[in-house]
Amino acid sequence: MAIAIKKKNLISIIQKTASFSNPKIELEQYCIDAISAVDIVYFAGFEFNDIYKNLIIDLGTGTGRLSLASSFFNPIKVIGIDLDWNAIQIFKRNILQLKLHQVIYPICMDVSHFSFNKHFLLDDVQITTIMNPPFGVQRKRADRVFLMSAFTYSDVIYSIHLDHQDVFKFISKFVGKNGWAIDYSFPFQMRLERSFPFHSKKMKEINVRIYRFIKQI
């Protein structure tokens, strides 16, 4: 598929969107950097064509960078979900700033309460979930809630997790037990912007792994 914007221009657009004004440490609210957001969306959109004319769901959207970047790949709609009302308000302002209000729908609710009836979609429409769930640093197993929600309605899932051998083993076992499989994964360096007073650096690079999950046959 073709996209009517250059990658560097999309990065510039996403970089200018508003981030968290008062991030909550208990929710692990770290704003994904623009380069990472666009790289991940390009991977899903170009390598596998999982965005064009599909319904995109962004769990734990925060201020919406993955949703906003996805909207430039001509999805049917993008649904961004987050339980933090302040984050959703910033997300809404970003949507209006980029005039994407007819494409993106922000919803304020707990990810564990979100469900979607696929009977409302045409048969050839795929649901692609692209998400940056909490790593479980503040609340152990926090990412499981996101995965369990995505399993119930998605056709394909892209998810970001820490790049660690123990995490890989857990992810492999967990998705397999729930009828899914790792189709593709690759290491990636994501840059976290300074969000809290105890952060000593303006930018910190962390090693993550991007996963593409598909249903087992």
Radius of gyration over alpha carbons of the chain, in Å?
16
Mean pLDDT within 28-46: 88
CATH number at residue 44: 3.40.50.150
Range of the domain at 122: 28-215
93 inside domain:
yes
22 inside domain:
no
Q: Is the pLDDT of residue 109 over 90?
A: yes
What would the pLDDT profile of 158-169 be if each residue is shown by its tens digit? 999 999 999 999
What would the pLDDT profile of 43-52 be if each residue is shown by its tens digit? 999 999 999 9
**Half-sphere exposure (CA, 13 Å, Cβ side) for 8?**
0
Q: Is the pLDDT of residue 101 over 60?
A: yes
19 inside domain:
no
Q: Residue 173: what are its φ and ψ, rounded to 5°?
A: -70, -40
Q: Which of the two residues, 141 and 199, has the higher pLDDT score? A: 141
Mean pLDDT within 73-94: 95
23 inside domain:
no
18 inside domain:
no
Q: Is the pLDDT of residue 7 over 70?
A: yes
- Summarize the chain as % helix, strand, coil (round to 5): 35, 25, 40
206 inside domain:
yes
Report strand pairing: 203-215 vs 180-193: antiparallel
190 inside domain:
yes
Q: Residue 132: what are its φ and ψ, rounded to 5°?
A: -120, 80
Tally the domains of the chain.
1
82 inside domain:
yes
User: Which pLDDT belongs to residue 30?
Assistant: 74
| Residue 181: Cβ within 10 Å count | 13
